[in-house]
């Protein structure tokens, strides 16, 4: 017991036990504030249908039930929304990684004419707010849909195109930074062994860059997965809704479908948060890399 107390008030930098108690109290209060709204969503998802609207503040309802989950999965289009989101997100991430991997290699290894302006251009794309690009992109996509019959509006395609393009500049930056750390000697050695310049890229650089490629994939995946505004403008049909649009539709029916909205939120949030917490170390290093470099 004494050991436990000593552990809890483990002293460092001369913090007194009283100060440590205050620190723990402050952190516990902060944690409660951070977790309460999240816990509320879980709590509402477990409420039975006749008690959806209640002024109760307890986090675990007395008569907890899975009925919101079963009702959501059986009678709403939840699976379709998740499928739509996955289709778009996976396509965007793959296209983004392929385009960025090859471009970044050229930026890292060759000093070609136009390189410096291109790098500045990549950086300046990050300053333009997404909403601003929405107007010309939407009108362009409407024009292409009408003129050439490629349905960029009203299908996934416009969304995939716009989101891939949005992620490429940042991905190129991250990958270029990573390639820069790989010594050129490795490729020289491969060339002496008879590999062409592209052979060296595929056999040496790409395998060595797996962690950076994974980060870039994750970045594009997360950005596309949680996007609300582009799908909102480009996908008007309910059968093409991604999960944010589907959730908004459930949330709009506040009086009757709050429980199902909460259940859907929990089902989406668990994998999303697991992915985020698992990859947050790299995400943060990527963010700071971006800010240090740029």
Partner 1 sequence: MRSLLAGDIAEKLWSWLRALLALALLALVVKFFATYLPKQQSLTPTVVLGSVKTVGGFVALIAAFVVALEFVLYVVLMKLLKWKHALAYMLVAPGMVGIALLFLYPFGYNIAIAFSDRSLQRFLPGAYSYGLAYGLENFKSVFTDKILHDTGFWEVFARTWLWTAINVFFHVLGGLGLALLLNRTLPLRGLYRTILVFPWAIPQVIVALALHNEFHYQYGFVNNLLVSLGLPRVQWLSEPVPAFVAATSSNIWLGIPFMMVIILGGLQSISHEFYEAAAIDGASGWQQFKSITWPLLQPVLTPATVMGTIWTFNAFNVIYLITVGGPSEKTDILVTALFKAAFEFYRYGQAAAFALVIFVILFAVSATWIQLSGGLKGVTD
Q: By CB under 8 A, is residue 99 in contact with partner 1?
A: yes
CB under 8 A: which stretch of 185-193, 202-210, 211-219, 273-281 binds partner 1?
A: 273-281
Q: By CB under 8 A, is residue 270 in contact with partner 1?
A: yes
The distance from CA 172 to its chain's CA centroid, rounded to whole angstroms, is: 17
Q: Please, what is the minimum distance in Å from the beta carbon of residue 49 to partner 1?
A: 14
Q: By CB under 8 A, is residue 234 in contact with partner 1?
A: no
- 220 Cβ partners below 8 Å, 6+ apart? 92, 93, 96, 97, 163, 164, 167, 171
Q: Please, what is the minimum distance in Å from the beta carbon of residue 52 to partner 1?
A: 8
Radius of gyration of the chain (CA): 25
Member of 48, 65, 67, 87 binding partner 1 (CB under 8 A)? 87
Member of 140, 182, 186, 289 binding partner 1 (CB under 8 A)? 140
Q: Which is nearer to partner 1, 211 or 238 (CB)?
A: 238
What's the rounded Cα separation, in Å, for the pair 189 and 208? 15
Q: By CB under 8 A, is residue 162 in contact with partner 1?
A: yes
105-124 residues near partner 1, rule: CB under 8 A: 105-107, 109-110, 112-113, 115-116, 118-123
For partner 1 (CB under 8 A), the number of binding residues is 127
Q: By CB under 8 A, is residue 184 in contact with partner 1?
A: no
State the greatest distance between any 2 C-alpha atoms of the chain, in Å, as a whole number: 79
Number of neighbours of residue 28 by Cβ within 10 angstroms: 10
Member of 64, 135, 189, 214 binding partner 1 (CB under 8 A)? 135
Which CA distances in Å does 93 have to 129, 152, 161, 166? 21, 18, 11, 11
Member of 77, 145, 154, 182 binding partner 1 (CB under 8 A)? 77
Q: By CB under 8 A, is residue 132 in contact with partner 1?
A: yes
What b/e readout covers 156-179, taking b as 16+ CB neighbours within 10 angstroms?
bbbbbbbbbbbbbbbbbbbbbbbb
What's the rounded Cα separation, in Å, for the pair 155 and 141? 11
Member of 21, 34, 64, 189 binding partner 1 (CB under 8 A)? 34
Member of 233, 234, 235, 260 binding partner 1 (CB under 8 A)? 233
Q: Which is nearer to partner 1, 64 or 120 (CB)?
A: 120
What's the rounded Cα separation, in Å, for the pair 121 and 117? 6
């Amino acid at each position: 017991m004494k050991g436990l107390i000593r552990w809890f008030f483990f002293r460092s930098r001369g913090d007194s036990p009283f100060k440590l108690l205050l620190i723990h109290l402050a952190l516990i209060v902060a944690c409660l504030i951070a977790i309460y709204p999240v816990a509320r969503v879980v709590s509402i998802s477990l409420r039975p249908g006749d008690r959806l609207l209640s002024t109760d503040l307890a986090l675990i309802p007395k008569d907890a039930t899975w009925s919101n989950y079963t009702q959501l999965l059986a009678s709403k289009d939840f699976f379709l929304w998740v499928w739509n989101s996955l289709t778009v997100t996976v396509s965007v991430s793959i296209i983004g990684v392929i385009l960025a991997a090859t471009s970044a290699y050229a930026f890292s290894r060759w000093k070609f004419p136009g390189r410096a302006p291109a790098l500045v251009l990549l950086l300046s794309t990050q300053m333009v707010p997404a909403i601003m690009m929405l107007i010309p992109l939407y009108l362009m996509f409407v024009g292409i849909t009408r003129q050439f019959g490629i349905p960029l509006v009203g299908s996934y395609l416009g969304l995939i195109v716009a989101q891939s393009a949005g992620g490429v500049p940042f991905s190129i930056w991250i990958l270029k930074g990573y390639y820069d750390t790989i010594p050129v000697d490795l490729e020289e050695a491969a060339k002496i062994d008879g590999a062409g310049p592209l052979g060296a890229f595929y056999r040496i650089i790409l395998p060595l860059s797996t962690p950076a490629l994974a980060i870039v994939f994750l970045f594009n995946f997360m950005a596309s997965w949680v996007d609300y505004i582009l799908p909102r403008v480009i996908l008007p049909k309910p059968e093409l809704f991604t999960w944010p649009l589907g959730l908004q539709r459930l949330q709009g029916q506040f009086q009757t479908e709050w429980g199902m909205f909460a259940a859907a939120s929990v089902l989406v949030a668990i994998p999303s948060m697991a992915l985020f917490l698992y990859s947050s170390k790299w995400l943060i290093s990527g963010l700071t890399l971006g800010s240090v470099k740029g």
